[in-house]
Amino acid sequence: MKFEVTILGSSSATPIFNRNPTSQALNINERLYLIDCGEGTQQQMLRFDVKASRIDHIFISHLHGDHYLGLVGLLSSMHLNGRKKALYLFGPPHLKEIIDLQLKYSETTLQFPLEFTPTDAQKAEVIVSNNDITVETIPLDHRIACTGFLFREKKRLRKLKKEKLEELKIPVEYYTALKKGNDYTSASGVIYKNDTLTIDSDEPKVYAYCSDTLYNEQYFKQIDKVTLLYHEATFLNDMLDRAKETHHTTALQAGEIALKTHARKLLIGHFSARYKTLNELLDEARSVFPATELAIEGKTFVID
């Protein structure tokens, strides 16, 4: 199953030359899940061939402009392009009011159902569950209500040991039960334990998206042992005081978080416009957590 994320924007606060405010497109089994939608996201989608028609879910972490000012424009384009299927939107409660106000004064009635679910920044909740994944909110510690999102693959059925089944001449109609973990009893009454006939499926992969936040251990347990951790790293650690004041994280802290929560890989982003180049941020995070990459726009990271 495809499980990968394409970076559309990686800048904090304001766009700067060659970097856009935050947005990411997650491809899970060819369905797109858009995470945050800063200004310029539509242009980035065009540039990197991310099709709006394939997006059915949008997640907004919080109401600072760098995370959602592209949203109304995107909804408007979907409307103008004749979208009919429902769009599922998740975000802070007041997001609905902002969208409604914009639609009201442009006298626009969207041609498609916009199904809005408010997020609660006080507690973790499962907000999506389908055949492929579940999505949980991650309560973060920012100046205003803010959540991250945890995308967890569903556990797959067990895998059959094909040669073994053929050798024992087990009828095909029992295969589904075997995949679900049942034992097999032959016509002559011999019981075969499930684990002699199947093997466990791969561990479900998990992508954690930690948007703007102060370093705060309260959410560490929830993101323990993820496959890929995206974490904001707005500043270098020499700006730690500024990071605390503005409720952000430094690159060094992001590395420490990945280490403490046993992430397999770390992706850092939300870079302050003060950094023209990003090598120092990368080096700093790698000094504690070597398996770190920069969330470079246009790059796709496979979650495996």
Q: Which residues are catalytic?
A: 66
Among 36, 39, 66, 136, binds Zn ion (CB under 5 A): 66
Nearest to 224 by CA among 266, 264, 267, 263: 263
Q: Smaller CB distance to Zn ion: residue 212 or 284? A: 212
Closer residue to Zn ion (CB): 66 or 153? 66
Which span (58-66, 127-135, 260-268, 279-287) binds Zn ion, by CB under 5 A? 58-66
Does 39 help bind Zn ion (rule: CB under 5 A)? no
Which residues face 198 on adjacent strands? 160
The phi, psi pair for 280, rounded to 5°, reads -65, -35
Three-state SS annotation for 213-251: CCCCHHHCCCCCCCCEEEEECCECHHHHHHHHHCCCCEH
Q: Please name every residue paired with 192 in a beta bridge, in sequence order, or none if there are none.
A: 184
Supply the minimum distance, in Å, between the C-beta of residue 242 and Zn ion.
Answer: 14
CB of 22 to Zn ion, least distance (A): 6
Containing 167, the helix (H) or strand (E) segment is helix 162-167
Q: Binding Zn ion by CB under 5 A: which of 64, 83, 152, 205?
A: 64
Task: Report the nearest approach of Zn ion to the CB of residue 300 (Å).
Answer: 22
Q: What is the CA radius of gyration of the chain?
A: 22
Nearer to Zn ion, 63 or 259 (CB): 63
Q: Which of 88, 29, 19 is nearest to 58 (CA)?
A: 88
Q: Rounded to an integer, what distance in angstroms lies between the CA atom of residue 291 and that of residue 59?
A: 26
For the segment 9-38, give every residue that binds Zn ion (CB under 5 A). 12
User: Taking CB under 5 A as the criterion, which residues in 200-219 touch Zn ion?
Assistant: 212
Closer by beta carbon to Zn ion, 9 or else 133: 9
For the CB of residue 172, give the shortest distance to Zn ion in the complex, in Å.
Answer: 54
How many residues sit close enough to Zn ion to count as binding (CB under 5 A)?
4
Residues that bind Zn ion (CB under 5 A): 12, 64, 66, 212
